[in-house]
Amino acid sequence: MERKRVVITGVGAVTPIGSGKDKFWDALMEGKSGIDLVSRFDTSKFKTRICAEIRGFDPKDYGINPKDAKRMDLFTQYGVAAASLAIKDSGLKLGEYNDNIGTMIGTGIGGLMTLEEEKRKLIESQNPSRVSPFLIPMMMPNAVNAYVSIINKLTGTSPCTCNACATGAYSMIYACKDIALGDFDVIVAGGSEAIITEIAASSFANMKALSRRNDDPKKACRPFDKDRDGFVIGEGAGVLVLESLEYALSRGAQIYAELVGYATNTDAYHITAPDPEARLVKKAIRDAMAMAGVEPKEIDYINAHGTSTPLNDKAEAVAIRDVFGDYKVPVSSTKSMVGHLIGAAGAVEAVVCALALEKQMIPPSTNYETPDPEMDLNVITEPTPARLNVVMNNSFGFGGHNAVMVLKKYDG
Residue positions annotated with a catalytic role: 165, 305, 340
CA pair distance 250, 359, nearest whole angstrom:
25
Q: Identify residue 10 by its one-letter amino acid code.
A: G
Backbone angles phi, psi at 98, to 5 degrees: -130, 80
One-character DSSP codes across 334-385: THHHH-B-GGGHHHHHHHHHHHHHHHTEEPPPPS--SB-TT---EE--S-EE
SS3 241: strand
106: left (phi over 0), alpha (psi -120 to 50) or beta: beta
Q: What number of other Cβ atoms are within 10 A of residue 396's Cβ?
A: 30
Are 230 and 309 spatial neighbours (Cβ–Cβ below 8 Å)?
Answer: yes
Task: List C-alpha distances in Å: 251 to 188, 244, 300.
Answer: 17, 11, 30
Q: How far is the first Cα of the chain from the last one, in angstroms, to the nearest whole number?
A: 23
CA pair distance 64, 81, nearest whole angstrom:
8
